[in-house]
Amino acid sequence: MPLLEKKIERRVCHYARSKGFLTPKINVVGETGWPDRLLIDPDGWCVWVEFKAPGKKPDAIQTYRIEQLTSRRIPVFVIDDEEYGIELINRLDSARVPKEGDEAAPVPGGSGSVP
């Protein structure tokens, strides 16, 4: 993994954890191409994230895995920019179902995945 990709991943995951997300790194033994991380918000909602260096796209096997997940309505995001990653975490955080005592936040628009 190129250094810049690791830096983006590290910073976005650090920010996500500061918002209460779990950010386990996923390594599927015997299979390649799965997204890098599973982000789990404090309410248990999950999205997959593939980190890339700026301007880089998922390779063929990664694209295949992303299509497998999104065809099952599982959201997958490709993050190649720290600012976009932080914006995504903020959008996911604001989309959480408010609990008693929480301030209500509008649910962001969008399809929920960026293959």
* Residues of the chain above pLDDT 70, percent: 80
- Does 47 score more than 90 pLDDT? yes
Separation CA 59–CA 52 (nearest Å): 10
Note the pLDDT of residue 95: 81
Angle, helices 82-94/3-18, rounded to nearest 10 degrees: 20
User: Would you say residue 102 has pLDDT above 80?
Assistant: no
The DSSP code sequence of 21-82 is: -B--B---TT-----SEEEE-TTS-EEEEEE--TT----HHHHHHHHHHHTTT--EEEE--H
For residue 104, pLDDT beyond 80: no
Q: Which residues contact 110 (CB under 8 A, 6 or more apart)?
A: 91
Task: Give the per-residue pLDDT at 38.
Answer: 97
Q: Indicate the CATH number for domain 3-93.
A: 3.40.1350.10
DSSP 114: B
Read off the pTM.
0.80
Average of per-residue pLDDT values in the chain? 87
Position 68 pLDDT exceeds 90: yes
